[in-house]
Amino acid sequence: MSKVLKIFLLIGVLSVFPKAPWPQGTECVARYNFKGTSEHDLPFKKGDVLTIIVVTKVMLRDRGERSFTPILNAEFQVCVLPLNSGSSPSRWFHGKITRDRAEHLLHPPETGLFLVRESTNFPGDYTLCVSCEGKVEHYRIIYHNGKLTIDEEMFFDNLMQLVEHYTKDADGLCTRLIKPKLEEGTVAAQDEFSRSGWSMNMKDLKLQQVIGKGEFGDVMAGDYRGTKVAVKCIKNDATAQAFIAEASVMTKLRHDNLVQLLGVIVEENSSLYIVTEYMAKGCLVDYLRSRGRTVLGGDALLHFALDVCEAMAYLEANNFIHRDLAARNVLVSDDNVAKVSDFGLTKEVSSSQDTAKLPVKWTAPEALREKNFSTKSDVWSYGILLWEIYSFGRVPYPRIPLKEVVPRVEKGYKMDCPDGCPEVVYNIMKQCWNLDPAARPSFQMLKEWIQHIIQGRPRKH
C-alpha cells in the first residue's frame, strides 16, 4: 500500500524526525493509525507503507485514491517514520534488485537469512527471498483484494505485518524468517543521511587546500555556504563503507570538546565527504611541537588535558569507546580549545571488536592481547596522551624499540615523568597505566582530579 505525502517537522518531535522535510522518493511506515483532520486527508493504518513522490499529493497505490492537501499537522507527524531509518525494522526491503543480486546478498548461506525485493517479473508485486539449507527460495507476494499474501490463505495489510508473521512461524515456508539482510552500501547511506537530516549538497561546498593526508584520503579545508569547514574526502567505495560507520557514529554525539559533524555528502560515484567544523590550529601533537615550552605554560597544558577528559567522560557516560585516543587525534580550535576527533574506530560498547592494526604505543595491554576494548582501555590511552602533552609532543616510549614495548609494559614498566611535569599529574598518568583495567580510574574521576588541580586558576588562551 503506497501513499504520497509531504511532511514538515515540529520542534517537539525532532528526537524522532529528521531536521528537514524528507526528499521525494522517501519511503515511510505508519507507526500508528491516522484518521486525518479534514475531508482532504487520506487516513491510514499502523504498518502501512507510504512513499513521498509528489509533495502535495497523497495516493493509495491499490485503490488510486488521492488527496491534494499537504498534511502538516502534529498528529500526522508523530504517526510516520522513514521506512529505512535506523529506528525502523524495515531495512530488509531492498527495492528493485534482480533475483541474482538477491542470491548474491544472501551468500554465504545462512538458514533464515532473508530480504524482500520488488518483483522483476510481476511489476507491483514483491518477492520474499529466504536462505534455507544452502539454497535461496523466492516466494512471490501478490495483492489479492487489497491484501498481501503468499499462499492465498494468510492475508496481510502490509509488508511489515507479513514479515512479522513469518518471523514467528514458518507457516508453509522452507524456514522461519530469522535474520534480515539489511540494505547496505553508499546508496543506502545516502538515503539514510538524507532522511536523518545530515545530508549536504555538493553544489554548496567549495573545496580549498589540502590540510592533511591520511591512508584513506585527503582532509581539505573548504567553504560551505560561507562557513569555513574541514572535509574528509574518501574516494574508494570499499573504504567509504568503513567511514560511513564513522559518520553514523558522529551523528549520535554532540559535545563542546568533540569535533562536530556538520553533514555528509555521498556522491553517486561512491565518493564520500564527511564535513566537520574547521579547527584552525590543527592537531594537538603538531601544536605542542611547534609552540613548545616558551609559548605554552602549565595552565595551557592542564586545560588541554581537561578538554580531552571532558570529551572522554561524555563518551563514557554514553557507552561509547574511542579506541584510538592520541594527541594526533585531538584538534585545536582558534581559541585554543582541544577537541577529540577521528571516530573511525569508535564503537558502541556492545559492538563486536575488530582486529584492525592498532597503534601499539597508545593501546592498553589487554586490548592488544585479547582485543578487549573498553572505556578502561581508553583511560590507558589517555594516560599516554597526558604524557604526550607534558613532553610537548614527543613519541611515547622514547629509545625503546617498538617490539620491546609490549613485553616491558606487561612486566610493569612505566615511562618516566616528563621534564617539568607536576608530580600530581604524573601520578594520574601512572594510575591510568595500571595493568588491571578495573583498577584504573573512570574518566569522570579523572575529570574531577584535573578540575581540582586547576581550581581557582583562570583559563588563559
Q: What's the CA gap between 191 and 387, in Å, rounded? A: 43
Please name the residue that has the C-alpha cell 522513514. 82
Backbone angles phi, psi at 229, to 5 degrees: -135, 165
> Helix or strand or coil: residue 365?
helix
Q: What's the CA gap between 299 and 425, in Å, rounded? A: 12
Catalytic residue among 307, 324, 342, 378: 324
Backbone angles phi, psi at 201, to 5 degrees: -100, 125
Q: What's the CA gap between 412 and 435, in Å, rounded? A: 7
Chain centre to alpha carbon of residue 37: 37
CA distances from 6 to 25, 47, 80 (A): 11, 18, 11
Amino acid at 69: T
The grid cell for 75 is: 498528529
**What sections of 334-401 are H helices per DSSP?**
365-370, 375-390
57 is in an annotated binding site: no
Is residue 380 within 8 A of residue 374, CB to CB? The reply is no
Q: What's the CA gap between 132 and 113, in Å, rounded? A: 8
Please name the residue that has the C-alpha cell 567511514. 243
Q: What's the CA gap between 315 and 348, in Å, rounded? A: 9
The grid cell for 63 is: 485503490
> Helix or strand or coil: residue 332?
strand
> Helix or strand or coil: residue 154?
coil
Which is nearest to 71 in space by CA: 41, 99, 45, 97? 41
Active site residue 223: no
Is residue 297 within 8 A of residue 328, CB to CB? The reply is no
**Which are the contacts of 93, defined by CB distance < 8 A and separation ≥ 6?**
27, 83, 84, 115, 116, 117, 159, 183
Active site residues: 324
Give the annotated binding-site residues for ATP. Answer: 232
